[in-house]
């Protein structure tokens, strides 16, 4: 078992070995989340897949990572033991990360040194092999590491063990938080041998190095660990025992056979009572897990809460890092001092309730946001905005209204019409005849009418029927030059913006962006680089490139969609509630799964806990797109109601659960077996004495 336990307990009453386990988990989670943060960008920008394929492969990989824990748990509890399983699969994991980093080396197949790989299939094959190895590695060790950490504690150390699971969860989120900040920063660096590009090898290489560090740190603590030996093919025995119990019960279904206390008791004719008791422990916990996939499916919808800038996505991880120690060191002790018996299942029920309240808070915020949203066309409606990019005042008449615009100006808002009633639009200016606008307006869309002369116009379909997603900002360019130009803005290129026409929108995060206009009409003496206005969140703009009196390019900015005006601080309550719910629910679930599992099935029950997350994610994929709501707040209210319903069902099931101490139950079986053994042995000395007397 390694060193004596007394030598291991040298750090504030905790086994010193858990230090290595926690550092190992931090490095492993940094490695996993750092790699995962880049995947969709890697698929889209490096391999060149479209959004749908990239997202499908990404979700398949994530689902595999939550399904492979069952395999890792079976290997650990039945064959290799937790320590050897973690080491073996960590090696597989590290190889997978290295293969993934190698797959992103552009120069690997760039034989003609033009910056583009000559054989993209090699990169695809390597990346798929790497992801398969990573899924096997990360999923396989996931249930073993937490269970192995729990194994380091002795009887009577329940308080320390509970705190270990809190620290363990803290390490998970700290690793996740740092990696999702650092690896995207590494990706934007430029590197390469023959041509410089986004540095995916460095961004994937750092997670690979962290995984190697994770493995080394874990092996360094080897002599300190308490290593429990696996007890044979436990799962095969469990399946056979359950099968026999069901079959035997079916055979004895007649009323003449007396009922037994538990349906598994029908296996007593063939299997020993210890195994039957251990299976009872597992099935009772697994029964409690039945509503949990639905909870995870709904909880997973917290992604919908991210209705403003991307920076808010890190709030959840930051709050977890803050809340785990506060819950563990302040909240739980205060509840205990109040004399309340805050059991594990009660904590999990409260976690569910807090998560449902987070969606209520989100619904309230969404109602406030909806009050500030622009009105978009619905049904048969169309919306039209006029933008005068000419040098003279222009008048445009619509059915029932006429607008007059000075040079380089636009209407203050979009005008809304029924598409069937938009029968005539005429453009005119002083001293010129009216010109009718002929265009087949598309219902349900916004349009911009560009005018630059009495008989010169162009209608552009905007393509924006909602606020830009994820708090980004839409920017499009209008060309008033005589020839086409290209624009490069913050790494994105607007190609071939034709004369007196508008480009499509491209989307950017907040902040001021620099851009360059490439046109043969711009003389070398003129400045062709500009800086945008400071973009906020959820806005859209039209940037008109025009000429100054000296023929050099000039920039005019027009607002199409105003930025969000709801303060981001209003979202803090929903993040706080969802984080508290996650901390109370997830940390407690890990500890509960370990504490209620028999010694030979610790990893299996941890895998069962993770399997509820996997099934929840699968439910999300199946029902994605079903039951779309026209109002976002109504969807939040539905989620809150469903979460509350799951919470109530779980609370009722938990009410009838009886806590046990598997170690005490197994110790009782050991004592009973020892008594039987001693009872049998005592016959032989007595026989020897009798024989000796007769002799």
Is 519 part of any domain? yes
The H-or-E segment that residue 227 falls in is none
Is 269 part of any domain? no
The H-or-E segment that residue 263 falls in is none
Instruction: Report the DSSP beta bridge partners of residue 497.
Output: 485
Which tens digits make up the pLDDT trace of 136-167?
999 999 889 988 998 898 877 888 888 899 89
- Per-residue pLDDT averaged across 667-691, rounded? 63
How far is it, in rounded angstroms, from Cα 205 to Cα 201?
A: 6
Is 688 part of any domain? no
| 9 has pLDDT over 60 | no
| Rg of the chain in Å (alpha carbons) | 33
Predicted TM-score (pTM) of this structure:
0.73
Query: Is residue 60 very low, low, confident or very high in pLDDT (cuts 50, 70, 90)?
Result: confident
Is 596 part of any domain? yes
Which of 518, 435, 438 lies closest to 477 in space, CA to CA? 518
How far is it, in rounded angstroms, from Cα 216 to Cα 210?
A: 10
Residue 54 three-state SS: helix
Is 677 part of any domain? no
Number of domains observed in the structure of the chain? 3
How high is the pLDDT of residue 298? 75
How far is it, in rounded angstroms, from Cα 672 to Cα 540?
A: 76
| 112 has pLDDT over 90 | no
> What is residue 154's DSSP assignment?
P
Q: Are residues 473 and 622 in the same domain?
A: no
Q: Are residues 94 and 119 in the same domain?
A: yes
- Per-residue pLDDT averaged across 344-369, rounded? 90
How high is the pLDDT of residue 415? 94
Query: Out of 11-15, 187-191, 583-587, 650-654, which region has the weakest mean confidence (pLDDT)?
Result: 11-15
> What is residue 80's DSSP assignment?
I
Cα separations in angstroms, 372 against 296, 367, 383, 465, 546: 32, 9, 18, 15, 32
Q: Are residues 527 and 621 in the same domain?
A: no
Query: Out of 31-35, 358-362, 470-474, 517-521, which region has the weakest mean confidence (pLDDT)?
Result: 470-474
Which tens digits make up the pLDDT trace of 210-263?
999 999 999 999 999 999 888 777 778 888 999 999 999 888 888 888 888 888
Query: Is residue 477 very low, low, confident or very high in pLDDT (cuts 50, 70, 90)?
Result: very high
Which of 643, 595, 592 lies closest to 292 in space, CA to CA? 643
Is 274 part of any domain? no
How high is the pLDDT of residue 67? 84
Which tens digits make up the pLDDT trace of 170-180?
999 899 888 88
- Per-residue pLDDT averaged across 3-30, rounded? 76
- Per-residue pLDDT averaged across 324-342, rounded? 89
Q: Are residues 557 and 573 in the same domain?
A: no
Query: Can you tell me which residue has the tokens 């190095």?
Result: 209
Which of 509, 497, 511, 498 lies closest to 473 in space, CA to CA? 509
| 3 has pLDDT over 80 | no
Q: Are residues 67 and 193 in the same domain?
A: yes
Q: By percentage, how much of the chain surpasses pLDDT 70?
A: 92
Beta carbons within 8 Å of 474's beta carbon, 6+ residues apart: 464, 468, 505, 506, 507, 539, 540, 541, 560, 561
Phi-psi region of 379 (alpha: psi -120 to 50; beta: other; left: phi over 0): left
CATH number, domain containing residue 365: 1.20.1250.20
Structural domain boundaries enclosing 157: 19-232
Secondary structure percentages of the chain, helix, strand, coil, to 5:
55, 15, 30
* 190-191 and 197-198 beta bridge pairing: antiparallel
**Which of 561, 593, 619 finishes a domain?**
561
Q: Are residues 153 and 185 in the same domain?
A: yes
Is 186 part of any domain? yes
Query: Is residue 601 very low, low, confident or very high in pLDDT (cuts 50, 70, 90)?
Result: confident
Alpha-helix residue ranges (DSSP H) falling in 494-601: 572-582, 588-595
Cα separations in angstroms, 10 against 14, 289, 325: 7, 37, 22
**Which of 561, 582, 607 finishes a domain?**
561
Is 240 part of any domain? no
Q: Are residues 295 and 356 in the same domain?
A: yes
Which tens digits make up the pLDDT trace of 505-514?
999 988 899 9
| 281 has pLDDT over 60 | yes
Cα separations in angstroms, 549 against 9, 202, 410: 81, 49, 21
The H-or-E segment that residue 388 falls in is strand 381-388
Cβ-based neighbour number of residue 602 at 10 Å? 27
Q: Are residues 536 and 578 in the same domain?
A: no
Edge to edge, the sheet with strand 529-531 lists 492-497, 485-489, 514-518, 529-531
- Rounded to an integer, what is the distance from CA 387 to the centroid of its chain? 42
- Per-residue pLDDT averaged across 567-595, rounded? 86
How far is it, in rounded angstroms, from Cα 355 to Cα 574?
A: 9
Which tens digits make up the pLDDT trace of 385-431?
999 999 899 999 999 999 999 999 999 899 999 999 898 999 998 88
- Terminal CA-to-CA distance of the chain, rounded, Å? 48
Q: Are residues 386 and 435 in the same domain?
A: yes
**Which of 232, 254, 281 finishes a domain?**
232
Q: Are 263 and 241 contacting, i.e. CB atoms less than 8 angstroms apart? A: no
How far is it, in rounded angstroms, from Cα 454 to Cα 435?
A: 6
Q: Are residues 456 and 574 in the same domain?
A: no
Q: Are residues 38 and 141 in the same domain?
A: yes
How far is it, in rounded angstroms, from Cα 5 to Cα 163?
A: 19
Mean pLDDT of the chain: 86
Query: Is residue 309 very low, low, confident or very high in pLDDT (cuts 50, 70, 90)?
Result: very low
- Rounded to an integer, what is the distance from CA 352 to the centroid of its chain? 18
| 693 has pLDDT over 60 | no
Query: Is residue 550 very low, low, confident or very high in pLDDT (cuts 50, 70, 90)?
Result: confident
Query: Is residue 692 very low, low, confident or very high in pLDDT (cuts 50, 70, 90)?
Result: very low
Query: Is residue 303 very low, low, confident or very high in pLDDT (cuts 50, 70, 90)?
Result: low
Q: Are residues 573 and 551 in the same domain?
A: no
| 461 has pLDDT over 90 | yes
How high is the pLDDT of residue 604? 81
């Amino acid at each position: 078992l390694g060193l004596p336990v007394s030598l291991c307990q040298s750090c504030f009453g905790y086994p010193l070995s858990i230090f290595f386990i926690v550092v190992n988990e931090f490095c492993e989670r940094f490695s996993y989340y750092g790699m995962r943060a880049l995947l969709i960008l890697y698929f889209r920008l490096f391999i060149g897949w479209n959004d749908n394929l990239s997202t499908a492969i990404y979700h398949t990989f994530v689902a595999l990572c939550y399904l492979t824990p069952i395999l890792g748990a079976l290997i650990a509890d039945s064959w290799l033991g937790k320590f050897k399983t973690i080491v073996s699969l960590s090696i597989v994991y590290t190889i997978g990360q290295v293969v993934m980093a190698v797959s992103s080396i552009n120069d690997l197949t760039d034989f003609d040194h033009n910056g583009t790989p000559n054989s993209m299939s090699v990169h695809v094959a390597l990346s798929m092999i790497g992801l398969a190895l990573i899924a096997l590695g990360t999923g396989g060790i996931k249930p073993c590491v937490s269970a192995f950490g729990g194994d380091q504690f002795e009887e009577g150390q329940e308080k320390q063990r509970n705190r270990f699971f809190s620290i363990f969860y803290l390490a998970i989120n700290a690793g996740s938080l740092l990696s999702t900040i650092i690896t995207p920063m590494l990706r934007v660096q430029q590197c390469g041998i023959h041509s410089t590009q986004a540095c995916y090898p460095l961004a994937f290489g750092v997670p690979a190095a962290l995984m190697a560090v994770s493995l080394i740190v874990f092996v360094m603590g080897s002599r300190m660990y308490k290593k429990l030996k696996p007890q044979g093919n436990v799962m095969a025995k469990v399946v056979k025992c359950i099968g026999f119990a069901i079959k035997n019960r079916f055979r004895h279904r007649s009323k003449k056979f007396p009922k037994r206390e538990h349906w598994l008791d029908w296996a007593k004719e063939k299997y020993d009572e210890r195994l039957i008791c251990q299976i009872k422990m597992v099935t009772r916990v697994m029964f409690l897990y039945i509503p949990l996939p639905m909870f995870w499916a709904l909880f997973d919808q917290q992604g919908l809460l991210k209705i403003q800038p991307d920076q808010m996505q890190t709030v959840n991880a930051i709050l977890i890092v803050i809340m785990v120690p506060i819950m563990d060191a302040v909240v739980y002790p205060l509840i205990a001092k109040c004399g309340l018996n805050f059991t594990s299942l009660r904590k999990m029920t409260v976690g569910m309730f807090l998560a449902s309240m987070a969606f209520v808070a989100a619904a309230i915020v969404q109602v406030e946001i909806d009050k500030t949203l622009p009105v978009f066309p619905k049904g048969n409606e169309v919306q039209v905005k006029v933008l005068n990019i000419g040098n003279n005042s222009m008048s445009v008449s619509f059915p029932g209204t006429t607008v007059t615009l000075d040079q380089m100006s636009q209407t203050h808002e979009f005008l809304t019409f029924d598409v069937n009633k938009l029968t005539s639009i005429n453009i005119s200016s002083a001293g010129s005849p009216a010109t009718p606008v002929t265009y087949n307006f598309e219902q349900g869309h916004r349009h911009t009418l560009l005018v630059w002369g009495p008989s010169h116009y162009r209608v552009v379909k905007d393509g924006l029927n909602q606020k830009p997603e994820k708090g980004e900002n839409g920017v499009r360019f209008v060309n008033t030059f005589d020839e086409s130009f290209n624009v490069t803005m913050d790494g994105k290129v607007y190609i071939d913006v034709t004369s007196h026409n508008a480009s499509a929108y491209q989307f950017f995060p907040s902040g001021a962006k620099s851009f360059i206009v490439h046109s043969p009409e711009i003389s070398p003496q003129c400045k062709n680089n500009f800086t945008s206005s400071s973009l906020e969140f959820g806005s859209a703009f039209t940037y008109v490139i025009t000429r100054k009196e000296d023929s050099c390019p000039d920039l005019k900015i027009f607002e199409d969609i105003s930025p969000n005006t709801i303060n981001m601080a209003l979202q803090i309550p929903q993040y706080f509630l969802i984080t508290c719910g996650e901390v109370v629910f997830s940390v407690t679930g890990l500890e509960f799964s370990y504490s209620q599992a028999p010694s030979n099935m610790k990893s299996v029950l941890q895998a069962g806990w993770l399997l509820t997350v996997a099934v929840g994610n699968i439910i999300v994929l199946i029902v994605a797109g079903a039951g779309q709501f026209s109002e976002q707040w109504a969807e939040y209210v539905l989620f809150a109601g469903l979460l509350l319903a799951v919470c109530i069902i779980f609370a009722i099931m938990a009410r009838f659960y009886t806590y046990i101490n598997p170690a005490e139950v197994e110790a009782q079986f050991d004592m009973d077996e020892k008594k039987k053994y001693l009872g049998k042995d005592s016959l032989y000395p007595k026989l020897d004495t009798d024989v000796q007397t007769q002799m």
